[in-house]
Amino acid sequence: MAGGRKHQAKRRRVEPSAAASLASPLAEGAGSTEASDDELALVPAMATMEADAAATGEAGEEAAAPAEAGEEAEDWAARRRGRQRCDLPARAETGVMRPRTMLSLVVAAYRGLPDFQRERVRGMGFGPILEIEPFFVDPPLIQVIRDRWDRVSHTFLFPWRHMVPSLEDVARITGLRVDGEAVTGVTYADYTDLTQRLLGLEPFGEGDRERRMVGRVSLLGSLGLTGMRQRAEELLPEFVERAARLARATYGQDAEDTVRADRDLHRFLVFFFGKMLFTTKGDGIHCRFLDILEDLARVGRYAWGAALLAHTFTDLSTGTGRETIVGGFTPFLQVWSYYYIPLGRATEVDPTVVPLARRWLPLVSIATYAFQLDVLRRHVPDYPALLVVWEPYAGQGDAGQPWVVSGRGLLGRDILVHCLNEIEPLRLRLWSDETEPRGIDRKTRGKAKTVDWRTRFPEQFADWHRGGQVVVSDATDSTAYLRRFQEEYGARDFMRPERDGRDTLIGQLERQLAEARVALETLRAAQMAAVQADAGGASSSRGPSVEVSSFQGRLTAAVERAERAERDLLTRTEELKGALAREAGFVSELTEQSRRLTELQSQVTQPEAELPRDMAELRALLAVERRDLERQQARWELERSHWELERERLTQQSVEARTCQGVAERLLKAFEDRYRRGRERAREQGRTSAYSESILATSSQHERNVQDGAAAQRSTGS
């Protein structure tokens, strides 16, 4: 109690300048922002110590742990987490979620290895992941992602659709190999022989028959890292270099001394697996991989990336929701979220290095864990579906990533991934007709001493070597999927986004309505009692009757007010529910439109053979229409040529007709002129008329004589 009061007094003495002085060296030259009620102040984590990792106290002696649990340890933890701003809201939580990854000490132990030992580690395929610089682990972000995990479907459920980390994500982010032999084999209840022979250490366990763990402190002592702490003013790179020097002084430097070299490498690999790659929620380090690590020449043949994914799924599926310790390689989920759900909590500092985890610098907030968690939990459901990245690696290629090239045959498949007794399904489809085998999640407890997981689950072991099942879909769009997704998961509380507190308002109105109904029933019961009392006491004095009548009037008025309030509450509730329904429909419509836009954008870059059926049909119809148009144009050209020929012929005929008309006009004019001159000459002679008449009469008589003779001849012959 005294220590707690002293600690509270120390916190009360902290002035606002302390937070500014804490953030100033981190934000120098980084453009940090002030934290307000609605946003977080983020600063680069280059100078920030690794979150709750082994650097501060977990690397100390177990015997000294109780002594450090008092005022000094609490004060040190407060300085390590940063000062809490008094104006930031807090949320009641069971505790701050802390990852068990001791990334800084593992990297220091790796850098302390001699050159020939590091070459052996790189030959096993662990070089890329061990070259990742230790960075800040973001517990609020990891907690929000873990909250979305569904244990039945083994996927993350978001309002837009489901998402699941794949083997390609593991390969690109961590640089681990995802193809090869399954990480499976034999596990034991007692590892005394293996630990003594390979590590030179003594194991411990829960009971007399179980000795499966090796002490963290004893293993750190064998690596020369006992009691390593990061000092208050020491930057993380300086701490890693100092720890590497201590480890380098402990390792054997003679490559010819194979016994010591193998023992040093076995110790490092057990520490690497237990406190970085396959971390558990306990303090000890499990020895279950010793049987596989016994033959160091075969370690590089295993699919360690697939084992990491299996262990991650197991850790997500076995939590109770109230634990404060996170197992597994937590930076994997953190960097995975950077690519698929970019929430702006990291900066890509080098877009060319591989693996992808080396490209990011997380941003550290000076806000409290509870405040960050509350902000993320409210913002993730409202995250725009248009900003979700579904193909983050499109266009990146595989240059410099042989671990991606070798594992490409397993990408895009439903397959069971193995990590000894952890066998988890990787399902890219949300709904599958296959049923999960029973007993996979059972651990080696109780009387089971030796278990060979290859013979215990032979079908699952064979599934890995068959390569799983290729995921092929014949659906033309996602309409049916989205409808079923909303039907099965849309009603869950964490799937519905909060809209400006209107859900809370509806709850308040419903509670008020329930209270009004209870009051109404009470008043009605009181009214009935008053009526019965009035009827039974009619023969009594007048005074009580007047009081009863007055009370009855007040009850009637209260009943009317309650009924009116009930009607108003019902109306407002229906209006708000209708508004929410319309808004939900609008959100679903917007999501569908964004999905269609994404599909159309992806279809633009697809080759001709991969176009959807409706697009192919549309292109065929367009080709037919184009051919018809070309034929019509050809017919128009032919008819136009015919009309041109006809026009030329008519033009020629018109020219000829005009020529003939001119000739006829000239002949008529010449004839008229000749006739006029003849008449003029006849008048001049004086005898033109008589002569003309005699000639005409003679001509007429001659014609009549010829006609009469011909008629007589015809009549005689008949």
d(CA 142, CA 98): 10
Q: Is 365 helix (H, G, I), strand (E, B) or coil?
A: strand
149-150 and 450-452 as β-strands: parallel, antiparallel, unpaired?
unpaired
- Residue 68: predicted pLDDT: 35
CB 149 within 8 A of CB 156: yes
Q: Which helix (H) or strand (E) holds 422?
A: strand 422-426
Residue at a domain's end among 381, 407, 433:
407
Q: Running DSSP on this structure, what letter comes out for residue 364? A: E
Q: Retrieve residue 125's tokens.
A: 């395929």
490-524 per-position pLDDT tens digit? 777 666 555 445 555 566 666 667 777 777 777 77
Residue 43, SS3 per DSSP: strand
Contact by Cβ (8 Å): 224, 246: yes
Question: Out of 152-161, 358-367, 521-530, which region has the weakest mean confidence (pLDDT)?
Answer: 521-530
Q: Are residues 121 and 223 in the same domain?
A: yes
Helix axes 613-685, 688-717, angle to 10 degrees: 110
pLDDT mean over 527-542: 59
State whether 274 and 162 are in the same domain: yes
Task: Please state whether beta strands 422-426 and 469-470 pair in parallel, antiparallel, or not at all (unpaired).
Answer: unpaired
325-326 and 98-99: which strand pairing? Answer: parallel
Check residue 5 and give its pLDDT. 40
Q: Which helix (H) or strand (E) holds 702?
A: helix 688-717
- Chain segment 162-197, per-residue pLDDT in tens: 999 999 999 999 999 999 999 999 999 999 999 999
pLDDT at 328: 86
Question: Beta strands 285-286 and 186-188: pairing type?
Answer: unpaired
- Residues with Cβ within 8 Å of residue 127, at least 6 apart in sequence: 118, 121, 175
Distance CA 431, CA 488 (A): 11
Separation CA 634–CA 161 (nearest Å): 53
Residue 225 has pLDDT above 70, yes or no: yes
Per-residue confidence at 53, pLDDT binned at 50, 70, 90? Answer: very low
Largest CA distance in the chain: 173
DSSP secondary structure string, 497-550? PP-TTHHHHHHHHHHHHHHHHHHHHHHHHHHHHHHHHHHHTTTS-HHHHHHHHH
In this structure, is residue 79 part of a structural domain?
no
When pLDDT is cut at 50, 70 and 90, the band that residue 476 belongs to is confident
Mean pLDDT of the chain: 75
With a CB cutoff of 8 Å and minimum separation 6, the contacts of 217 are 60, 61, 62, 226
Which among 407, 433, 462 is the end of a domain?
Answer: 407
Q: Is the pLDDT of residue 30 over 50?
A: no
Tokens of 326: 């996170």
d(CA 551, CA 528): 12
Is there a single domain that holds both residue 230 and residue 367? Answer: yes
Domain that holds residue 676: 499-533+551-603+618-683+695-712
Q: Is residue 479 part of a domain?
A: no
Query: What confidence tier does 385 reach under pLDDT thresholds 50, 70, 90?
Result: confident
431 contacts 150 by C-beta, under 8 angstroms: no
Percentage with pLDDT > 90 across the chain:
36
344 φ, ψ (degrees, to nearest 5): 75, 25
In a domain, 447, yes or no: no
53 occurs within a structural domain? no
Query: 126 with 256, same domain?
Result: yes
Question: Is 227 inside a domain boundary?
Answer: yes
Q: Is residue 67 part of a domain?
A: no
43 located within any domain: no
What tokens appear for 666 in the block? 């000239």
Residue 23: the pLDDT is 33
Question: How would DSSP label each residue in 197-222?
Answer: IIIS--EE-SSSS-B-EE-HHHHHHH
Among the three residues 407, 423, 451, which one is the final residue of a domain in this structure? 407
597-646 confidence digits (pLDDT tens) = 666 656 555 444 444 545 556 666 666 666 666 666 676 677 666 666 76
Cis peptide before 355 (omega within 30 of 0): yes
CB atoms within 10 A of CB 516: 20
Tell me whether residue 670 is in a domain.
Answer: yes
Rounded Cα distance, 90 and 368, in Å? 8
Structural domains in the chain (count): 2
